Amino acid sequence: MTTDTAVATVHPAWLPDAALAPLRALPSAVLLSGPCAAAARADLGPDVPVADADLVVAAAGGAGGVADLGVDGGLDIPAGGHVLVRTPDRTVVLGADDASALRGLYALARETAVAALTGSTPAPGVTTHAPEQPLRMLDHWDNVAVHPVMGQVERGYSGGSIFYADGEVRTDLTRVAAYARLLAATGVEAVAINNVNVHAREARLLTDGLPDVARIADVLRGYGIRTFLSVSFASPRLLGGLPTADPADPDVAAWWAAAVDRVYAAVPDFGGFVVKADSEGQPGPFAYGRSHADGANLLAGALRPHGGTVLWRAFVYDHRQDWRDRRTDRARAAHDHFAPLDGEFAENVVLQVKHGPMDFQVREPVSPVLAAMPRTRVAVEVQITQEYTGQQRHLCYLAPSWSSVLRFPLDGTRPVASLVARGGVVGVSSVGDDPFWTGHPLAQANLYAFGRLAWDSTLSPADVLDEWIALTFAGAPSAALARVRAALHTMMDGSWARYEGYTAPLGVGFMVTPGTHGGPSVDGYEYSPWGTYHFADRDGIGVDRTVATGTGYAGQYPEPWASVYEDVATCPDELLLFFHHVPYGHVLASGTTVVQHIYDSRADAVAALDGVEAAWESLADLVGTVVPADLDTRVRERLAEQRRSAVEWRDQVRTYFWRKSGVVDASGREVF
Ligand code: GCU
């Protein structure tokens, strides 16, 4: 069943007509000649002569006419960025190139909407906007063919894929175009269109699927977005009929070179490959006794003549661990595998590293790999799809989490955002063919925030939320808009902390239902091969990852963090159980004991949902006008499910630790 017919009912997310209306009302001239010209024109009115235009959109060195405005000369336009020039006569958006100009146009729409929200007026003058990261990319874990276990979209909580249906690339890519437009407005500039777990059907995108890949790339290009493919390392065997995929075999290298030539013949601006190798069953160079540098460089060699990039994932660990073996620590794996290879990767390889050492848990320390490879281009990967953060049924605004990662001074001085600036920022997309794009309508804010923080990690999560509100509810009367703003901040600013509050405590992670990863199961992974243990016994809980007595993981950090995490006295509370096994009576920096913290914070976080629900309820009179009725219905349904699930989390976790420890909850609240 294709859902192409649902397009007409798709929610406009952060680009409703009203967000562009103030710009569309201006006589405008679009002086672009590249692939994004049509998109810019479609969002503005018909072109008028430049001299008559109040709004001009142009690219440096693009189609003529800008020089006549007297704004071009002397302006320093950063690569991939844009300059906004506001004079008393007109506003000029000048992009470094065609795609940057389109992004600049949406930036102007955003500034206009934010001004309406905050009651401010943008000052005349010149402002320069440069992306902090050159690579701002989304990975889609979409399967072409529905996977028997993982479905159409692996870890997808928003329906089917916008790219694929019925085992094929969709014929109607209207929805992809709408998505690309939304992404352009956030600053995202690259998309990998298929799952990192490359199954048989998806592997063929690289060969006989190329005409379809080219169709998708054509649509994305119209919004300044480059297309990447996830490929199987075994492709020479699977697709080429070779006896091996060994990186040292010249036939293998020749196969890749020819395959890549064909890709660029179909998609001249193709971005490159994403590769998950030797990870969770995916093929890789280990089978041939080769290193990950050998593997990555093989593909890099094929891509180099065309300017393409390999995003090689560092998510490599033993997923067949024996839970009895307390010396093997999954957290160590990426650093153990990759840090020794620093300096061996080709220049067009980017090592894509998950933000934490485990797997997108609600709280993890920042991965030490991000600071361990100064001679390697490194990118940080976050998960927008809420696999471990509420699956788009719980409200969990993730910008505060990503912001804390990007700003973290991992090498003691420089923030992660600058450590990865030669690589980039990658997010696993949360989008599907759901009418609200993201299942939970308010989870749209996460997708929006991802692009904005990848562009500028210094933005505050609350300001980014304001932007999203201003655009999404653009055109609402100012009093109503102010109420929506207040309600959504009440609901969302602290939602990540709340989610953490009722789920796994103090950085220990997991405790989720195996397989689905939704809902509580404190011991769900405790005796499994996945390496995700909490080691709770009658006396205490946590994983000893110290150098002195544990797995040594803390020693993978540079100073000051190695010492901070090593010492139970200086390890921050929120990561205590990630680094230390402590007795239940251990007193936290907050002054409470570990077990009492577990009891209290689960209950407090659920109690705080009253305020979340009340805030949404306070907007009831706006439903049908400012708040679309179907959106209200969906949000209410999700809030009800969030409460049900949060209560389950609270009761299971609290009860588990009461039964395990026998320590009475001093608050006297109910356990079972
Ligand atoms: C998690 C997730 C998998 C995914 C993997 C990855 O383990 O559960 O579905 O394939 O991450 O990032 O590759």
What's the pLDDT tens digit per position in 462-493? 999 999 999 999 999 999 999 999 999 999 99
Mutation probe of ligand 1 site: the residue of 143, 149, 155 with most atoms within 8 A of C-beta: 155
What does the alpha-carbon distance between residue 230 and residue 137 come to, in Å, rounded to a whole number?
13
Torsion angle of C-alpha atoms 102, 104, 108, 113, degrees rounded to 10 = 80
* Residue identifier of the C-alpha nearest atom 10 of ligand 1: 197
- Give the pLDDT band of residue 1 (cuts 50, 70, 90): very low
Query: Token pair for residue 340?
Result: 């020794």
Q: Which residue do the tokens 């003529």 mark?
A: 64
Per-residue pLDDT tens digits for 163-185:
999 999 999 999 999 999 999 99
Tell me the residue type at 131: P
Per-residue pLDDT tens digits for 432-444:
999 999 999 999 9
Average pLDDT of the chain, as a whole number: 96
**What is the position in ligand 1's atom list of the atom closest to the CA of 150?**
9
What does the alpha-carbon distance between residue 573 and residue 614 come to, in Å, rounded to a whole number?
30
Following DSSP, what letter does each residue of 654-666 receive, concatenated?
Answer: HHHHHHHH----T
Over residues 562-572, the mean pLDDT reads: 98
Reduced to 3 states (helix: H, G, I; strand: E, B; else coil), residue 650 is: helix
What is the sign of the dihedral through the CA atoms of 49, 50, 52 and 56? positive
Query: Token pair for residue 531?
Result: 């390496």
pLDDT at 176: 98
Closest by alpha carbon to 351, among 362, 335, 363? 335
| Contact status, residue 531 vs residue 330, Cβ threshold 8 Å | yes
Q: Catalytic site residues?
A: 280, 359, 387
Mutation probe of ligand 1 site: the residue of 387, 510, 517 with most atoms within 8 A of C-beta: 387
pLDDT at 76: 84
In the chain, where the domains are located: 5-129, 136-472, 499-543+581-661
Question: What distance in angstroms lies between residue 63's CA and the mean position of ligand 1's atoms?
Answer: 45
Residue 512 DSSP symbol: B
Q: Which CATH class is domain 499-543+581-661?
A: alpha beta
Q: Read off the pTM.
A: 0.97
Query: Token pair for residue 618?
Result: 């306070």
274 φ/ψ angles, rounded to the nearest 5 degrees = -110, 135
What does the alpha-carbon distance between residue 100 and residue 433 come to, in Å, rounded to a whole number?
27
Judge if the beta carbon of residue 408 lies within 6 A of ligand 1. no
pLDDT > 80? residue 562 = yes
Question: What distance in angstroms lies between residue 402's CA and the mean position of ligand 1's atoms?
Answer: 18
381 - beta bridge partners?
A: 354, 426
Instruction: Give the angle subtended at the CA of 136 by the CAs of 134 and 140, to the nearest 5°.
Output: 150
Tell me the residue type at 345: F
Q: Which residue do the tokens 């925030």 mark?
A: 449
| Contact status, residue 29 vs residue 53, Cβ threshold 8 Å | yes
pLDDT > 90? residue 671 = yes
Q: What burial class does residue 287 get, using C-beta atoms within 10 Å of its C-beta: 0-12 exposed, 13-18 middle, 19+ buried?
A: middle
Over residues 104-119, the mean pLDDT reads: 97
Per-residue pLDDT tens digits for 506-549:
999 999 999 999 999 999 999 999 999 999 999 999 999 999 99
- Give the pLDDT band of residue 45 (cuts 50, 70, 90): confident
Following DSSP, what letter does each residue of 10-23 receive, concatenated?
Answer: ---TT--HHHHHHH
Judge if the beta carbon of residue 155 lies within 6 A of ligand 1. yes
**Least confident residue range of 69-78, 154-163, 501-510:** 69-78
Give the count of beta carbons closer than 10 Å to the beta carbon of residue 588.
16
| Contact status, residue 439 vs residue 158, Cβ threshold 8 Å | yes
Judge if the beta carbon of residue 197 lies within 6 A of ligand 1. yes
| Contact status, residue 650 vs residue 657, Cβ threshold 8 Å | no
pLDDT at 62: 60
Tell me the residue type at 145: A
| Contact status, residue 657 vs residue 536, Cβ threshold 8 Å | yes
Q: Which residue do the tokens 């749209």 mark?
A: 444
557 φ/ψ angles, rounded to the nearest 5 degrees = -85, 150
136 - beta bridge partners?
A: 425
* Residue identifier of the C-alpha nearest atom 7 of ligand 1: 359
Cis peptide bond N-terminal to 435, omega within 30: no
Judge if the beta carbon of residue 315 lies within 6 A of ligand 1. yes
Over residues 61-75, the mean pLDDT reads: 61
659 φ/ψ angles, rounded to the nearest 5 degrees = -65, -40
pLDDT at 27: 97
β-strands 582-583, 540-541 pairing: antiparallel
Kindly state the percentage of the chain with pLDDT values over 70: 97
Per-residue pLDDT tens digits for 282-301:
999 999 999 999 999 999 99
**What is the position in ligand 1's atom list of the atom closest to the CA of 517?**
8
**SS3 per residue for 541-572:** ECCCCCCCCCCCHHHHCCCCHHHHHHCCCCCC
What is the sign of the dihedral through the CA atoms of 14, 18, 24 and 26? negative
| Contact status, residue 459 vs residue 407, Cβ threshold 8 Å | no
Per-residue pLDDT tens digits for 642-663:
999 999 999 999 999 999 999 9
pLDDT > 50? residue 450 = yes
Q: Which residue do the tokens 């281009």 mark?
A: 377
pLDDT at 2: 38
* Residue identifier of the C-alpha nearest atom 1 of ligand 1: 359
- Give the pLDDT band of residue 65 (cuts 50, 70, 90): low
- Interhelix angle 629-661/594-607, rounded to 10 degrees, is 160
Per-residue pLDDT tens digits for 256-275:
999 999 999 999 999 999 99
pLDDT at 4: 41
Tell me the residue type at 205: L
The matching CATH number, chosen from 3.30.379.10, 2.60.40.10, 3.50.50.60, 3.30.360.10, for 5-129 is 3.30.379.10
| Contact status, residue 529 vs residue 321, Cβ threshold 8 Å | yes
Give the count of beta carbons closer than 10 Å to the beta carbon of residue 116.
19
Tell me the residue type at 382: V
What does the alpha-carbon distance between residue 254 and residue 240 come to, in Å, rounded to a whole number?
11
What does the alpha-carbon distance between residue 501 and residue 505 come to, in Å, rounded to a whole number?
7
657: alpha, beta or left? (left if phi > 0; alpha if psi -120 to 50) = alpha
Element (H, E) at 185: helix 174-186
182 φ/ψ angles, rounded to the nearest 5 degrees = -60, -45
Mutation probe of ligand 1 site: the residue of 280, 312, 320, 381 with most atoms within 8 A of C-beta: 280
End-to-end CA distance of the chain: 46
pLDDT at 5: 39
Query: According to CATH, what is the number of the domain 136-472?
Result: 3.20.20.80
What does the alpha-carbon distance between residue 321 and residue 531 come to, in Å, rounded to a whole number?
6
Per-residue pLDDT tens digits for 496-513:
999 999 999 999 999 999
Per-residue pLDDT tens digits for 142-155:
999 999 999 999 99
pLDDT > 90? residue 7 = no
pLDDT at 8: 46
Q: Tell me, what's the ipTM?
A: 0.99
Per-residue pLDDT tens digits for 320-357:
999 999 999 999 999 999 999 999 999 999 999 999 99
What does the alpha-carbon distance between residue 188 and residue 487 come to, in Å, rounded to a whole number?
28
